Chain A
Amino acid sequence: MAVRANVVKLKDEDEAKFYAGQSLLQLALRRLRRDTLTLIAMAIVLILVLLAIFAPVIEQNILNVSYSRTDPNNAFLPPGGTARLVYLPDHRYRSQGLNVVVMHDRGAGGREIGDAHVDIQPRQLTTKEGMANILIAHASFGTPAISVFLDDQTRPFAARIAQNSLSNLLEIPVGRHTLTFRRGSSAEGELLAVLRDVEIKPETLTTAVLFGRLEGEGEAALQAKAFSINSRDLAVDTARLHVIHASLSAPRAVNVRVMDVVRIPEIKYGEDGSAIVERGLFTTGISAMDGRTYILGTDDLGRDHLSRLLYAGQISLSIAFAAAIISIVIGVGVGIVAGFYGGLIDDAVNLFIATVSSLPTLLILLILVAVLNPGPGVLVLVLGLLGWFGICRLVRGETLSIRAREYIVSARSIGAPVSRILFVHVLPNLLSVVIVALALDIGNLILVESALSFLGFGIKPPSASWGNMLSNAQTFFTKGVHLVIFPGLMISITVLCLYIIGDGLRDAFDPTLKR
């Protein structure tokens, strides 16, 4: 190594003795060994890299799952693998009309739930003036026809309310009503439930939901709840039978977004079989259908989340590493030439960088990636070719200061060729700058790549990258919280570690910069 320790300003004599006669690199390593935080960050990155490299081995031999195997039965399995979510295929939702989800147990009681059935039926709603649509949905097997009695009338307002059907859409007068539900179609039929003071507003869809045990007796046996649905009002405190979303029927219909639709209450059953409803995941209390263990659960297609995270790490890390190396090579090359020669080359490089920097990098990347629609290989090139400006500036500045130092002047004076000066005298002294920049650059590139993939322009499914996993997860938000949390955590941890490594290396190479 050409540079000796005396280049670095040292604090006291003891330290000077301690460091005497060692190269810059040895010194840096010595300082680095004392920096626990950086060492921990390095270990984490190393583990992540190893996990990414050995993803196929881990997947097949340790996790015993398949990253690509899809199984709707295991969809949205949360971490731990003891619960199953109801899978709601999103394409069946309509932006206007009625989306009804009815879930019912297989048995009559609540405890022995074996399956959950989902039924979604979109339909355009039209309403006469002064009238509103009401949807009555009930779901218990073997129920006889139910009639609805409006207020105190003895004739049923509607008879034979079928299970789970949209023909139950009744037009009833606007105002406050008491709805009485009876078995059969006569006023003497068994009283199932009463809903008092239901306010029927124009332009809203009011839903009456009947749920509970049908074999019980009296008013309490079957509970009923009515709620009007506005654009985003989904909350019901207790419901086994649940209408998830219905849009307004009037011309001012609002859009139903998938995000709204996925708010499903979690249903648990207490000791007495009563339903306890919580927000969150819809659990049916059974483990993964195929008997495997999914440590971090599964995604919307029933694919193992953990092995997908590992494969995504493979892609995200390798793209970032490769692009960082490209941008470092270009940045160092252009920076050295611009800094060493100066003059016209320097001006041209500066003008180019200033021009490109007047646009947000993300915008240029987005445009290029959208227009070229590249595979991973070209994506690496694009990222690398647009990522060298910062390093180039750094290297240029450093080269400018190195150029003026005595040893360069003396090398020139004894007639050393330019190539020798550049490679033997300038380049080794840029080593610290370059290594630090490399660590920070990989971190930034992971962020950029995941942002592109998140927006749907970078790595495209079925390949997994942390960004596109998040992009996919945001659609399912509340149903699969684990799908949102883990990919983001992976990105954050990786980038944070790389930043810490970058800072640690800078301090190790040049302790005078430390504040």
Chain B
Amino acid sequence: MAKYIARRIVQSIPTLFLITVLAFIIVSLAPGGPTASLLLDPNLTPQDRVRIAEQLGVNDPWPIQYLRWLIGDDWEWRIRDNSGEPKPGNRLGILRLDFGYSFVANRRVLDLFAERLGATLELGISALLFALSLGVPIGILSAVWRGSLFDNSMRVLAVIINAVPNFWLGLMLILLFGVIIKGPDGKGLLPMGSRCPTTLETCPPLHERLNHLLLPMIVLGGGGLAGYSRYLRASMLDVIGQDYIRTARAKGLKDRTVWFAHGARNALIPLATFLGPAIAGVWGGAFITEQIFSWPGIGRLTLQSLTALDYPMIMAVTVFSAIATIVGFIISDILYALIDPRIRFN
């Protein structure tokens, strides 16, 4: 087991490495280089510009710049101070968890991330739970009542959910529940955005937070809901065609027992492999959902950084997303192997 996990982690290192190269190359493609926005500051004198360019090392070949980003430059006695004496750099590199400073906020990238992580986790986890808790029963029931009105309408609904852009779905839900349908206080039934009421300084009561969470959760979880229900329906139909189900029927078990005790339990197993793609899906959807609902999470932070071309942030987001997805895939593989004894750890 430990060996298996270790091997999976080792296997993912080349992928991560390639991702860092990719992130670096994309950012280097920027017109004028990634630091153009810093160097174009009209308040800087030409000497300042030369000094900053030297400090950042933007004139060095890109493999060296990449290495500095990766492992830092504190081992390099490269930068000269005012007296001309060389001194070590102060970057530790991303391998030592130093993602540098945000150009815009002028704060450590990691700190900015840590601040926003809670909001994104709250939204992401609740969206996943929402998708699972509705998608799994719908999938199972669709398989049980195969060909029925319920099954067909759920399949149509799943196609429609996939075809409707989630940003539009979000806007329409805001319009419906935030404007058209009134709550008892004459305002919209649900708030139109943000994570919690803006005027409160202390932690707001749970129902307020749930009110704010509801619409973004539905929008973010909608795609997963459609995916899970279709996937589970197919998985259920696979299982139900197998021999042991026929055996269970033959020995006279009730239909309900066969479907739910024998069928559903085994049909649920492949769901473990869905964790990795689900994390990637939720993460990808978070950009749009957080933007529509003014949700103060990492997705919104990323969009702000992209608009402002805040390169340290952009590179860090790329690396973090890759880590999150890869970890998701590893965990789902391990889970799958743990749940299903037919899978061996080699």
Contact = CB atoms under 8 A, between A and B. Distances in A.
A371 B172 CA distance: 31
Interface string A209-248: 0000000000000000000001111010100000000001
A373 B309 CA distance: 11
B153 interface: no
Nearest to A497: B163
Interface string A488-501: 10011001100110
Given A363-B317, A455-B287, A492 B306 contact: no
A355 B22 contact: yes
B267 to A, nearest CB: 15
Nearest to B170: A474
B165 A450 contact: yes
Interface stretch (A82-90, A251-259, A334-342, A396-404): A251-259
A259 B318 CA distance: 31
A248 to B, nearest CB: 8
A258 to B, nearest CB: 12
Interface string B308-346: 010000100110011001100100000000000000000
Interface string A357-385: 01111111011101111000000000000
Contacts of A237: 186
Contacts of B191: 232
Given A231-B199, A359-B321, A363-B318, A488 B171 contact: yes
A491 B192 CA distance: 23
A488 B160 CA distance: 13
Interface string B275-309: 00000110110011001100000000011001101
Given A355-B15, A359-B322, A492 B30 contact: no
Contact of A495 (B163, B292, B307): B163
Contacts of B172: 484-485, 488
Interface string B156-190: 00011011110110011011000110000011000
A230 B15 contact: no
Given A254-B198, A363-B317, A484 B171 contact: yes
A470 B172 CA distance: 11
Interface residues of A, number: 59
A470 B167 contact: yes
Contacts of B199: 230-231, 248, 252, 254
Nearest to A252: B199
From A367, A451, A473, A477, residue with most partner B Cβ within 10 Å: A367
A76 interface: no
A443 B163 contact: yes
B308 to A, nearest CB: 9
Interface string B258-282: 0000000000000000000000110
B160 A496 contact: yes
A359 B318 contact: yes
Contact of A455 (B163, B168, B179, B288): B288
Chain A interface, >50% SS class: helix
Given A254-B199, A259-B192, A474-B292, A371 B30 contact: yes
Contacts of A351: 14-15, 18
B2 to A, nearest CB: 24
Contacts of B112: none
B218 to A, nearest CB: 16
A358 B171 contact: no
Nearest to B18: A355
Contacts of B318: 359, 363, 367
Contacts of A372: 29-31
B198 A500 contact: no
Contacts of A43: none
Given A358-B19, A370-B306, A456-B307, 16 more contacts: A230-B199, A232-B187, A233-B187, A259-B193, A263-B179, A360-B321, A361-B284, A362-B287, A363-B317, A366-B306, A371-B314, A372-B29, A454-B288, A455-B303, A484-B172, A488-B171
20 contacts: A231-B198, A358-B15, A358-B325, A359-B325, A360-B280, A360-B281, A363-B287, A366-B303, A366-B306, A370-B306, A450-B167, A454-B165, A467-B165, A474-B171, A477-B171, A478-B175, A491-B164, A491-B168, A495-B163, A496-B164
What are the nearest 7 A-B pairs in CB distance?
A360-B284, A488-B168, A496-B163, A370-B306, A495-B163, A355-B18, A235-B186
Interface of A: 230-233, 235, 237, 248, 252, 254-255, 259, 263, 279, 351-352, 354-356, 358-364, 366-368, 370-373, 443, 447, 450-451, 454-457, 467, 470, 473-474, 477-478, 481, 484-485, 487-488, 491-492, 495-496, 499-500, 503, 515
